[in-house]
Amino acid sequence: MHQQTPALYNDCAYTMISAEEISVLVDRIAAEVQATYQDSPRRLIMVVILKGSMPFAAELLKRLTLPVELEFMKVSSYGAGTKSSGEIKISLDLVRDDLQDIDLLLIEDIVDSGRTLSRLTDLLRNRNAHSVRTCTLLDKPSRREVDFTPDFCGTVVPDEFVVGFGLDYNEKYRNLPFIGVLKPEIYS
Ligand code: IMP
Ligand code: MG
């Protein structure tokens, strides 16, 4: 029987990172995270930055065997479209009074200008978290506007607007199981 390719898939010009490749990247990141926090006597909290990081965080979480807790922050830097507005808005904050005893690991889908993670790490360090590290599935260093390097990174990607595995364009495509590049006509 002929199976039709779903319309969402057809909006992609090509697959940049397949589901299988994503899985290999997450395996490696999980091993690095595990090695980093293995001997820490403190509580480790993964801070999932909503919404795009949700699938990545879920895959990472289930590969970790050390005790890890979960918190969420919701931050937006993008309006509708593919260009950053340059400022970030925190609409769900991490409110706790015990951060001095905690190792924080911020989970992001992609680092672009670097503003989001740079602002968030500053903020949480100012609130006296014992440590603040950052973990991103994808990094686009060619687009950096501030000096920022993630502690853990799946892979560097070229300057293309990507969707899938949590990443969206106008809230669509988050459910694609791979990372794809949208066809140019989708933007217009
Ligand atoms: P930054 O603050 O410029 O580093 O932006 C990071 C945020 O921009 C990410 O969490 C994404 O939400 C969004 N973003 C950056 N590049 C892309 C992309 O290629 N596709 C989808 N979202 C992106
Ligand atoms: Mg995001």
Q: Locate the ligand 1 atom nearest the alpha carbon of residue 88 and give its number.
A: 2
Overall domain count for the chain: 1
* In-domain check, residue 144: yes
Number of neighbouring beta carbons within 10 Å of residue 118: 19
Residue-level pLDDT at 188? 77
Residue-level pLDDT at 186? 92
Residue-level pLDDT at 153? 98
Q: Is 159 a catalytic residue?
A: no
For residue 144, the domain's CATH number is 3.40.50.2020
* In-domain check, residue 152: yes
* In-domain check, residue 38: yes
> CA nearest 58: which of 70, 67, 40?
70
* In-domain check, residue 188: no
* Residue ranges making up the domain that contains 106: 19-157
CA distance 66 to 64: 6
* In-domain check, residue 143: yes
H-run or E-run covering 125 = helix 115-126
* In-domain check, residue 173: no
Residue 138 makes CB contacts below 8 A (sequence gap 6+) with 109, 110, 111, 153, 154, 155, 156, 157, 162, 167, 179
* In-domain check, residue 185: no
* In-domain check, residue 78: yes
**C-alpha angle 165-14-146 in degrees, rounded to nearest 5:** 60
Number of neighbouring beta carbons within 10 Å of residue 10: 10
Name all residues whose Cβ lies below 6 A of ligand 1: 52, 77-78, 84, 108-116, 161-163, 167
* 10 residue type, one letter: N
Among candidate residues 11, 93, 103, 112, the one labeled active-site is 112
Burial (0-12, 13-18, 19+ Cβ within 10 Å), 134? buried
Residue-level pLDDT at 104? 98
Going from the C-alpha of 169 to that of each of 7, 19, 78, 166, the distances in angstroms are 15, 19, 10, 10
Task: Collect the ranges in the chain with pLDDT lower than 50.
Answer: none
CA distance 50 to 72: 7
